[in-house]
Amino acid sequence: MKRPPLPQAFVDQARAYETGEATPAEPRNAATVVLLRDGASGPEVYLLRRQTTMAFAAGMCVFPGGGVDPRDFSEDVAWAGPSVADWAVTLGCEPELARALVCAAVRETFEESGVLLAGPSADTVVEDTTGDDWEADRVALETRSLSMTDFLVRRGLVLRTDLLGAWSGWLTPVFEPKRYRTWFFVAVLPGAQTTRDVSSESSSVTWRRALDAVADVESGEMLMLPPTYLTCLEIGQLGSSAAALAASRSRTVDMFTPEVISSGADFILSTPPAYEALLESR
């Protein structure tokens, strides 16, 4: 696939940061979760179309996710699965941040899809989160009137961190006014749980076969930032959601920052080398 050239204004803006004329915004740590299920012809991903009034990625289709909340760093959060130390190695960060990222990933997934990666024990998962009491807790988490730690204690639950897999890391380019250092996770829709259109930040939600989402972007029917598009493209090559989760087990995260590079007479954003062959096949 031929990547579209960047507008000249973006190129000029990027050069201003390169020369020191402009100072990059400080990135905020964030987590996003590629929620997966199996369709008739390959893995499907859960996508939210962001409100057009949002300050970042307005109108774009994204995975559930958001910024790390200070309370996600709580050392008292109920935990099951790989240790915080193991997650730190996988995510390529300090243990304190690793704990917060995993907590944020589970919290944001629940806030934006109604799916909760937690259970009464280390080998069980909540079956149904559609009741009014669950919705009240979800809203309280979203408005930050309830912390994830207190929510789990109240419910007698533990984070099922083993249901998550690390996928990739992306840092917003320096020329963007709002920047995020985002860790991408994958998770399979657990048990009998169902997604719900609940997020206040989205105008619509959909389950879409990963490769169909890629085709929608390429045809101009759907808007995505490059990391979302490339993640869908990569996952679409796999035969099932279980295969995607299994592939995540051998991954460690290296944060990648797209840069403006020349491509003939045009300028484009750089892409991690691992994705180049996939793009060439489009």
Q: Per residue in 231-270, pLDDT tens?
A: 999 999 999 999 999 999 999 999 999 988 887 777 888 8
At 7-23, the pLDDT tens digits run 787 787 878 877 888 88
Give 57's pLDDT tier (boundaries 50, 70, 90). Answer: low
Weakest mean pLDDT among 139-148, 216-225, 241-250, 272-281? 272-281
Under a CB-based contact definition with an 8 Å cutoff, are residues 268 and 3 in contact? Answer: yes
The answer to pTM > 0.85 is yes
Mean pLDDT across 55-76: 88
Considering only CA atoms, which of 259, 253, 191 is closest in space to residue 30? 253
Give 89's pLDDT tier (boundaries 50, 70, 90). Answer: very high
- Report domain 26-210+239-253's class: alpha beta
Mean pLDDT across 111-133: 96
Orientation of helix 95-113 relative to helix 84-91, angle to 10°: 90
pLDDT higher than threshold 90 for residue 5: no
Q: What is the DSSP string of 67-92?
A: EPPGGGG-TTS-EESS-HHHHHHHHT
Burial 54-84 (b: 16+ CB within 10 A, else e): eebbeebbbbbbbebbebbbeeebbbbbbeb
Q: Kindly report the backbone phi and psi dihedral angles of residue 30, in degrees, each rounded to the nearest multiple of 5, phi listed first.
A: -150, 160
Q: In what helix (H) or strand (E) does residue 277 lie, and over which residues does it extend?
A: helix 273-280
Q: How many Å apart are CA 208 and CA 114, to the nearest integer? A: 17
User: How many residues would you count in the chain?
Assistant: 282
The four Cα atoms 88, 92, 94, 96 give a dihedral, to 10 degrees, of: -50
For residue 162, give the 3-state DSSP assignment: helix
Q: How many Å apart are CA 137 and CA 51, to the nearest integer? A: 23
Tokens of 58: 């307005």
Q: Kindly report the backbone phi and psi dihedral angles of residue 111, in degrees, each rounded to the nearest multiple of 5, phi listed first.
A: -60, -35
pLDDT of residue 20: 80
Q: What is the CB-side half-sphere exposure of residue 5 using CA atoms within 13 A?
A: 10
Considering only CA atoms, which of 58, 18, 262 is closest in space to residue 178? 58
Under a CB-based contact definition with an 8 Å cutoff, are residues 101 and 91 in contact? Answer: yes
pLDDT of residue 261: 83
Q: How many Å apart are CA 191 and CA 128, to the nearest integer? A: 9
**Higher-confidence residue: 261 or 61?**
61
Alpha helices in 39-155 (DSSP H): 84-91, 95-113, 132-142, 148-155
DSSP 275: H
pLDDT higher than threshold 90 for residue 184: yes
**What burial class does residue 111 get, using C-beta atoms within 10 Å of its C-beta: 0-12 exposed, 13-18 middle, 19+ buried?**
buried
pLDDT of residue 6: 75
Q: What is the CB-side half-sphere exposure of residue 46 using CA atoms within 13 A?
A: 27
The fraction of the chain above a pLDDT of 70, given in percent, is 94
pLDDT of residue 240: 96
Mean pLDDT across 270-280: 87
